[in-house]
Amino acid sequence: MASGFFALLDDIAALMDDVVVMSKITTKKTAGILGDDLAVNAEKATGFLSSRELPVLWAITKGSLLNKLIILPIAFLLSSFLPWAITIILILGGFYLAYEGVEKIIEYIIPHKLATSHDISADSTETDSLTLEQKKIKSAIVTDFILSVEIVIIALGTVLGQPILFQVIVVSIVALIATIGVYGIVALIVRMDDMGYSLIKKDKSGGVLNHIGQFLVKALPWVIKSLSVVGTIALILVAGGIFSHNIAFLHHILEGIPGFLKDFLIGILAGLLVVLLIKIFKKLVGVLRK
């Protein structure tokens, strides 16, 4: 009886050792998409009043965790019974990401007549602030859902062929690390100015801490602007990567150029296609309503 119990503990320990090793390998394989996830979500978590930054970020984080809870069981079921459906879902998600990235570029080049900025300022009314806040939260959660699908699928591909329990543990760990790691770093970024002011107050004599605080305060606007650019590029690169890795024709096209440039070009073309189709659809709807 005792020997059987200790044998069970030994099996569990061996399983956990394997889980740790595979979790490290899987996390490394998803590092690229995690970097894009960070850039995209950091950009989406900015533009709020200072007092609302952490509540908004917490709302997005909860939405991200809910996304994982939805995606994980579906991914395991599809992997077992309908593996082809995963590719279709990824491609559809890629079109959404490409559209969102290209639309941001178009808005920058040709600003919309009614709204040139989506940031929430101190002059905004409470109703307007809440409406814009909820809109940005919803957009961030939708984008997180698509990026989370990509992360989960990449992680799942690393442990295919392993027992289902092993797959569940490893992929769930990676998904949890993705959420905590990404949004933890985002929280640090959006609170850079508060940390800077705190250091300035602690060292009013102009010492090292004061200079660090001044740097953090002055750097935040540049970081936010940079994240906006990097986040947009990341959306397009992720979309292009999805297409080039899951569509055979695109996988072998433009092999003579760097992979990231190929992904960017494919993402831009896909985004422009979706923008064009949406404009045609809106015009048709307008004509039918007349």
DSSP structural state of residue 257 = S
Spans of all domains in the chain:
25-289
pLDDT above 90 for 273: yes
- Please tell me which of 42-46, 59-63, 119-123 the model is most confident about, judged by mean pLDDT: 59-63
Give the distance, in angstroms, between the CA of residue 136 and the centroid of all CA atoms in the same chain. Answer: 14
Burial of 127 (0-12, 13-18, 19+ CB in 10 A): exposed
State the pTM of this model.
0.68
Distance, first Cα to last Cα, the chain: 81
Q: Is the dihedral of CA 217, 223, 228, 229 positive or negative?
A: positive
276 pLDDT exceeds 90? yes
For residue 48, what pLDDT is reported?
64
Distance CA 58, CA 183 (A): 9
Residue 8 confidence class, pLDDT cut points 50, 70, 90: very low
Rounded (10°) CA dihedral 255, 32, 138, 181: 180
CB neighbour class for 124 (10 Å; exposed up to 12, middle 13-18, buried from 19): middle
For position 102, what pLDDT does the model report? Answer: 92
Within 8 A by CB and 6+ apart from 116, the residues are: none
- What confidence score (pLDDT) does residue 80 get? 78
pLDDT band at 201 (very low <50, low <70, confident <90, very high): confident
Q: CA–CA separation, 172 vs 119, rounded Å?
A: 34
Give the pLDDT band (50/70/90) at residue 93. confident
Instruction: State the Cα–Cα distance between residues 19 and 83, nearest whole angstrom.
Output: 23
Signed CA dihedral, 217, 31, 95, 273: sign only: positive
Instruction: Output the average pLDDT for the chain.
Output: 76
Per-residue pLDDT tens digits for 257-268: 888 899 999 999
Average pLDDT over residues 2-19: 44
